[in-house]
């Protein structure tokens, strides 16, 4: 917690419900949401558009100076580069694929810390990612770590893609998520793991409203 503004960090496995619960929690508490993935998508987009060297410290520092996160009315953040809103451009498929490798870059992860810390806005912040409670916001008033059965997570992702008009293959999705778990957990830079003081939430059999009620009760206990 910085300047007495509470931060709730939510880390965990892919498709375990982090984004969904973050939105529900934001609506209930009126807190802003930071999805750290959007920052790595930003560097992936800039690498694609400007052919930047993401392993050049001076280049990274220069880009960071031109980046800012602007709070929005819906309690999220727009990404501005050279004062231009590039948020919508960050969700192209090719950007997402490149963002996965960008997120392993320690220089970029470190350079982004001040930008993420600047997102702490009153009345509070929900930080959703993979090292929010362990590295980015270690003083969070409440740290949550989401897990769920692999098959259930694959089915959730499958259903989401179907809803969006895609024609996915369930087994391919399962393999992709399993491979991503292994890479996230075993990577050298900021590996995916629960903070020592994090509360583990298994979303396999719980509905979203039950999880929300549980988290709101946990937040009350913090006395913030």
pLDDT in tens, 127-167: 999 999 999 999 999 999 999 999 999 999 999 999 989 89
pLDDT of residue 212: 97
Distance CA 151, CA 8 (A): 28
Residue 219 lies in a domain: no
Residue 223 lies in a domain: no
- Do 192 and 128 belong together in one domain? yes
Phi then psi for 131, rounded to 5 degrees?
-140, 30
Share of the chain above pLDDT 70, in %: 99
Three-class SS of 150-176: HHHHHHHHHHHHHHCCCCCCHHHHHHH
- Do 1 and 29 belong together in one domain? yes
- Do 80 and 153 belong together in one domain? no
- Do 145 and 198 belong together in one domain? yes
Question: What's the structural domain count of the chain?
Answer: 2
pLDDT of residue 100: 83
Helices then strands, counting H and E runs in the chain, come out as 9, 8
Distance CA 32, CA 26 (A): 6
Please provide the average confidence, as pLDDT, over all residues in the chain.
Answer: 93
pLDDT in tens, 56-75: 999 999 999 999 999 999 99
Question: Tokens 């179907």 — which residue?
Answer: 162
Q: Are 54 and 105 in contact (CB under 8 A)?
A: yes
- Do 207 and 152 belong together in one domain? yes
- Do 27 and 77 belong together in one domain? no
Q: What is the CATH number of the domain that holds 7?
A: 3.40.50.300
Last residue of a domain, one of 56, 90, 111: 111
pLDDT of residue 150: 97
DSSP code at position 198: P
DSSP output for 201-223 = EE-SS--HHHHHHHHHHHHHHHT
Domain range for 147 is 1-34+122-214
pLDDT of residue 183: 87
Residue 186 lies in a domain: yes
């Amino acid at each position: 917690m910085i300047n007495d503004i509470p931060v709730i960090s939510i880390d965990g496995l892919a498709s375990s419900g982090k984004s969904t619960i973050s939105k529900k929690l934001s609506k209930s508490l009126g807190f802003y949401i930071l999805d750290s993935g959007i920052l790595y998508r930003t560097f992936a987009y800039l690498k694609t558009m400007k052919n930047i060297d993401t392993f050049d410290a001076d280049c990274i520092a220069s880009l960071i100076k031109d980046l800012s996160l602007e709070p929005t009315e819906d309690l999220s953040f727009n990404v501005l580069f050279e004062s231009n809103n590039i948020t919508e451009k960050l969700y192209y498929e090719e950007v997402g694929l490149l963002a996965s490798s960008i997120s392993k870059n320690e220089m970029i992860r470190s350079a982004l810390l001040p930008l993420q810390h600047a997102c702490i806005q009153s009345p509070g912040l929900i930080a959703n990612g993979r090292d929010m409670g362990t590295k980015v916001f270690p003083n969070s008033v409440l740290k949550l770590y989401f897990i769920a059965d692999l098959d259930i997570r694959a089915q959730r992702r499958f259903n989401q893609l179907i809803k969006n008009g895609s024609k996915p293959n369930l087994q391919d999705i399962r393999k992709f998520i399993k491979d991503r778990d292994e890479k996230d957990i075993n990577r050298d830079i900021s590996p995916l793991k629960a903070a020592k003081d994090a509360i583990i939430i298994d979303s396999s059999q719980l509905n979203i409203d039950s999880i929300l009620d549980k988290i709101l009760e946990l937040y009350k206990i913090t006395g913030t």
